[in-house]
Amino acid sequence: MGEKIFSQEAIEFALNVAKTEIPLAIWETFYVTVLSTALAVVLGLPLGVLLVVGDKNGILPLPKWFMSLLNVVINLLRSIPFLILMIMVFPLSRLIVGTTVGTNALIVPLVIAAFPFIARLVEGSLREVNPNIIEAAQSMGATPFQIICKVMIPESVPSLISNLTIAITTILGYGAMSGIIGGGGLGKIAINYGYYRYKYLTMVVAVILLVIMVQIFQSIGTRIATKSDRRLKK
Amino acid sequence: MIEIKNLSKTFKTADGTVEALNNINLTIGDGEIYGIIGMSGAGKSTLVRCINMLERPTAGQVIIDGKDMASLSSKKLREERRSITMIFQQFNLLMQRNCLKNICFPMELSGMKKSEAKKRAMELLEIVGLPDKALAYPAQLSGGQQQRVAIARALATDPKVLLCDEATSALDPNTTHSILQLIKDINKKMGITVVVITHQMSVVEEICSSVAILDGGKVVEEGKVAEIFANPKSDAAKKLVYPGGEEETVKGNIGERVIRIVFNGSDNTETPLIARMAANEGIMANILAATTKTLGTHAFGTMFVGVPENQFEKAFSYLQSCEGISVEEVEDLG
């Protein structure tokens, strides 16, 4: 099998794909990942904040039925396997983007899958904030909104960045999966050539590129998180 | 003036209700340094949190300068909290902000202009003795320095009351002393009323003028520090004044009767009382235990002396005739 993978023909084919399709695919993957993460943060961050402050011991307790509903919805969305979620949201993608195939159509299911995940990650980060510091802010007459914007979020920035890095790499993986239903990017190349046309070498190239992208996102994220943390003595 | 009237606080837990505070009545005068002392679990932290309504009392009132704190709307309460600031055992600085921005924080909350806030923060850093730490982050400072920054932050909004919740409990004795001196200084120069919560008698002795002793959610003793220190009446107060236990220290010898001498801030103690008694009256008193301290120019404290039975009456009447001390016989010490 090794001979087959590395045959002259396979190498030539892979090189050809690398030249003609891969640059665009890298861009598509990057663009879909970053844009989906950004949109998911826009939805997930406020929800994560709500999960923490709305708690019965939080700084802005919300009605119990509302919190239960919020938790159920988030858990529900998180429990649908992504492959199925992608198909389920076809009507919504068509409504918003006008199509169900291609790079842009993919953003809709990605955001829907990612925002509850991000809400949970944000919740985790915000719960790490020392409650004594929040109490101190209350003792100085801070409003709940000021506590959220000036204490909880700024104090958990390093943790938020770490968690965002986890989110972005997960979203990158989800995005690659969408090749199977007609999404774009490196995932599409891996599935189209590797799965449908047995061009394993081409698939491996696409996968290696995905791995490299994850590595880059992860190391940048870790570096920013560490750099931003003022609790570390320097 | 802070008036605490019939204040009670109960917590609901899984095992039923816990009575943290039970009918507390205290009056704290303007410009005073008032100590609230008690062992762990006595309710001190709950009490101080009831003063600024971080904890809502179950019953009773906290009235500060005529304002009933519990009746204020949340907006009014937030405004009021700017003039009743607080420092904590764990300092509770914002770890992701440098010192200057930490001190600016309360001014930011109240909507002060940035440039003005920064100027005031620099002045405050000067007052607490850390003008060169403006751009340092809390993690780079020692505990004592962090508490100084916290004090500067607490002073930023020109408060009339400063609540100190175990503010020196995480610090070593030297640092404790310097922080207490700083608080004393601030109290003197700015006339801020200070409420000090602590479990250390030494803290109360060093800076407080009055003290309330809290035990099991009740005020068991209250008054001038000197008086309570000299003559503790309640068990809780005795435990704090004599950490080793009173009885332990005053077992008299056979054939002796024990007299307790309480120094109430007399200058009398400058001439040695026991030596005088021996020289003038020929009474050989045996010092069994003494916890005396000089506060300012006056001496306070208690001394237990054993006196031979045949000289007891003479010794007792001699001591009674001395000024600035009170005496009583201690019986049944076993």
Q: Report the residue from B88, B97, B157 with minimal CB separation from A132.
A: B88
Share of residues in chain A with pLDDT > 70 (%): 98
Residue B80 is encoded by which pair of tokens? 């009021």
Q: Which of B287, B331, B324 is nearest to B307 (CA)?
A: B287
A146 touches chain B (CB under 8 A): yes
Interface test with B, best of A130, A133, A140 (most B CBs within 10 A): A140
**Mean pLDDT of the A12-17 span:** 87
| pLDDT for residue B233 is more than 50 | yes
Amino acid present at A57: N
User: What is the pLDDT at residue B334?
Assistant: 40
- What residues pair up with B63 in beta bridges, in sequence order? B3, B68
- Give B134 to chain A, closest Cα distance, Å: 14
Q: Report the residue from B92, B95, B106 with minimal CB separation from A230.
A: B95
| Helical ranges in chain B per DSSP H | 44-51, 74-81, 99-109, 114-127, 143-155, 173-190, 201-207, 225-230, 235-241, 246-249, 273-276, 312-321
| pLDDT for residue A34 is more than 50 | yes
**Mean pLDDT of the B266-271 span:** 60
| pLDDT for residue A110 is more than 80 | yes
Residues of B in contact with A61 (CB under 8 A): none
In whole angstroms, give the CA distance from residue A166 to residue A185.
20
Chain B neighbours among A 9-38 (CB < 8 Å)? none
Pick the range with the lowest mean pLDDT from A140-149, A224-233, B109-118, B237-246: B237-246
- Give B42 to chain A, closest Cα distance, Å: 20
- What residues pair up with B10 in beta bridges, in sequence order? B19
User: What is the pLDDT at residue B235?
Assistant: 84
User: What is the pLDDT at residue B296?
Assistant: 59
User: What is the pLDDT at residue B287?
Assistant: 84
Residues of A in contact with B86 (CB under 8 A): 136, 139-140
**Mean pLDDT of the B318-329 span:** 80
pLDDT tens by residue, B125-143: 999 999 999 999 999 999 9
Whether residues B95 and A154 touch (CB distance < 8 A) is answered with no
| Residue pair B327/B266 in contact by the 8 Å Cβ criterion | no
- Give B229 to chain A, closest Cα distance, Å: 32
| pLDDT for residue A197 is more than 90 | no
User: What is the pLDDT at residue A43?
Assistant: 97
By CA distance, what is B135's nearest residue in A?
Answer: A230
| Residue pair B82/A140 in contact by the 8 Å Cβ criterion | yes
The residue ranking higher by pLDDT, B39 or A129, is A129
Indicate which CATH number applies to the domain containing A21.
1.10.3720.10
Q: Report the residue from A130, A132, A150 with minimal CB separation from B108.
A: A150
Non-local (6+) Cβ contacts of B42 within 8 A are B214, B215, B216, B217, B236
User: What is the pLDDT at residue B88?
Assistant: 96
- Give A226 to chain B, closest Cα distance, Å: 12
Residues of B in contact with A227 (CB under 8 A): none
A57 touches chain B (CB under 8 A): no
Whether residues A135 and B92 touch (CB distance < 8 A) is answered with yes
Cβ-Cβ pairs closer than 8 A, A with B, add up to 76
Task: Classify the phi-psi angles of A40: left when phi > 0, otherwise alpha if psi is within -120 to 50, otherwise beta.
Answer: alpha
By CA distance, what is A156's nearest residue in B?
Answer: B96
- Give B158 to chain A, closest Cα distance, Å: 12
Q: Scan for tokens 């914007």, then name that residue.
A: A149
| pLDDT for residue B228 is more than 90 | no
**Mean pLDDT of the B231-240 span:** 82
Q: Report the residue from B81, B92, B140 with minimal CB separation from A133.
A: B92
| pLDDT for residue B269 is more than 60 | no
State whether residue B162 is helix, strand or coil. Answer: strand
User: What is the pLDDT at residue B110?
Assistant: 93
By CA distance, what is A157's nearest residue in B?
Answer: B96
Interface test with A, best of B46, B79, B105 (most A CBs within 10 A): B105
pLDDT tens by residue, A147-175: 999 999 999 999 999 999 999 999 999 99
Non-local (6+) Cβ contacts of A109 within 8 A are A82, A85, A86, A89, A93, A178
Q: What angle do CA B128, B134, B137 make, to 5 degrees?
A: 105
In whole angstroms, give the CA distance from residue A187 to residue B66.
70
pLDDT tens by residue, A204-222: 999 999 999 999 999 999 9
In whole angstroms, give the CA distance from residue B293 to residue B300.
5
By CA distance, what is B156's nearest residue in A?
Answer: A140
- Give A52 to chain B, closest Cα distance, Å: 19
In whole angstroms, give the CA distance from residue A29 to residue A188.
10
The residue ranking higher by pLDDT, B319 or A64, is A64
By CA distance, what is A138's nearest residue in B?
Answer: B54
The residue ranking higher by pLDDT, A133 or B271, is A133
Taken as a whole, chain A contains a residue count of 234
Q: What is the 8-class DSSP label of residue B252?
A: P
Q: Which domain holds residue A149?
A: 2-233
The residue ranking higher by pLDDT, B217 or A233, is B217
Residues of A in contact with B109 (CB under 8 A): 137, 140-143, 146, 150
User: What is the pLDDT at residue A131?
Assistant: 95
Residues of A in contact with B112 (CB under 8 A): none
| Residue pair A176/A194 in contact by the 8 Å Cβ criterion | no
Whole-number average pLDDT of chain A: 92
pLDDT band at A130 (very low <50, low <70, confident <90, very high): very high
In whole angstroms, give the CA distance from residue B225 to residue B211.
6
| Residue pair B183/B218 in contact by the 8 Å Cβ criterion | no
The residue ranking higher by pLDDT, B44 or B271, is B44
pLDDT tens by residue, B44-83: 999 999 999 999 999 999 999 999 999 999 999 999 999 9
B85 touches chain A (CB under 8 A): yes
- Give B23 to chain A, closest Cα distance, Å: 24
Q: Scan for tokens 């990057």, then name that residue.
A: A30
| pLDDT for residue B333 is more than 50 | no
Phi, psi of B97 (to 5 degrees): -120, 145
**Complex prediction ipTM:** 0.87
pLDDT band at B13 (very low <50, low <70, confident <90, very high): confident
pLDDT tens by residue, B184-199: 999 999 999 999 999 9
Share of residues in chain A with pLDDT > 90 (%): 69
| pLDDT for residue B153 is more than 90 | yes
Separate counts of helices (H) and strands (E) for chain A: 13, 0
User: What is the pLDDT at residue A234?
Assistant: 60
In whole angstroms, give the CA distance from residue A96 to residue A106.
11
State whether residue B23 is helix, strand or coil. Answer: strand
Chain A neighbours among B 31-60 (CB < 8 Å)? 52, 54
Pick the range with the lowest mean pLDDT from A131-140, A178-187, A203-212: A178-187
Pick the range with the lowest mean pLDDT from A53-57, A96-100, A157-161, B237-241: B237-241
Q: Which of B4, B50, B9 is nearest to B29 (CA)?
A: B4
**Total domains in the fold of chain A:** 1
Specify the pairing of strand B256-266 against strand B298-308: antiparallel
